[in-house]
A and B are shown apart, each in its own frame.
Chain A
Amino acid sequence: MTAPRKIFDLERDGDALIAVPLRNLGSLAEEELQAELPELLQALHQPDARHLVLDFSRISYFGSSMLEAVRRLARRAHEHGGRTALCGLSPVAREILEIARFDTLWPLCETREEALAAVRKG
């Protein structure tokens, strides 16, 4: 039996956790997403990983389940004194975030470097 594909790849850059969604995700994979979220939330619980960068460069779109995941993860980062930034967005992905007005909550950056600079700028 094939193991279920991971939805997120996790990387570290100093005090920032970088979560990279690996596949296009509508609400269809919501249960898988919810099953994987605790691991990400736990990773943000570590004292040396304060900030969160969500890098969407590997996918072109997502649905409301990903919006909810972004909200939960950003809230956890905030609880631990960290900041959140999003980057690598396709036009449709950016549109989805703007429709939900998430662009008013967290910066939407072009590149990962810009997102890392944004969370560290304070």
Chain B
Amino acid sequence: MSNKKKPLLQVRKLKQHFDISGKRTLRAVDGVSFDIYPGETLGLVGESGCGKSTTIRTIARLYKPTSGSVIFEGKDLANLNKRELIASRREMQIVFQDPYESLSPRITVGNIIAEPLTIFRNRKLIDIDKAGIDRKVAEVMERVGLRYSLRKRYPHEFSGGQRQRIGIARALAMDPKLILLDEPVSALDVSIQAQVLNLLSDLQEERGLSYLFVAHDLAVVRYTCHRVAVMYLGQIMEMCEASRLYENPLHPYTESLLSAVPVPDPEIERSRSRIILEGDLPSPTVKIFGCPFYSRCPRKMDKCLDNKPKLIEMEAGHKVACFLHEK
């Protein structure tokens, strides 16, 4: 479907390495490439420490990437100076995981939502007057299901689900094309989680938004995303359309990850065969020459230790980095 359109965001060979304690280097993101098309949701999944959140933060240029490019609407964000960066970030907004820590406790909700608009107005990057900002705040608050009359309240007066709506409203106020969602529902109770997921999918439909959706919950990702990329130790192991990934996973890591997710149905849950992975994630500070999944892979071969499998397109739109599938 998306092949005909031009991608909105192109991430190429993105690397984000952090120097820690002297000579060691933490390779949080280690050569990641993907595209996001207009109106599409790309899911980025993986376990803690796989680099999914760092990828989002690097795309938003909260960190300067070690190498690689992030091309958003034709401009490479990796090389822009501060002023250019701020201007080009207008159409790319971010919603964080923790609705308690990502909203300033000392600012009213109305001002939190208005703040990005105010900053752009002060820098003369958008043409909007104060009344216009108020109108915008009212519009996005109503849209996410918060009464405008609540604008003078502070974040602590809201529940977790409502706070996440505030975060979404703040992102929407800029009329973005792309919203980076960093675990947007993982801090919420299930009944509230469903409300927020439905809101996000309605907004996407109305406004043609693109999402980069980072999550560890594979069930949420299946429900939300059009395409999914599975990350492990800073690299993409498999990437394809969501339904395909869940029906026909090719990478042994994807397979075991999917089999580990519990299904809320006792009869299915008890009869499923489960691939239990041994051990834990290796340290991301150790340079790995072969496949990053080697140490835990139930189907490893000798050559996986020293040779790194490339992310190769197996079938149309289905990429996998594994020697089992290399011809």
Q: A and B bound?
A: no
Which A residues contact B (CB, under 8 angstroms)?
A: none
Which B residues contact A (CB, under 8 angstroms)?
A: none
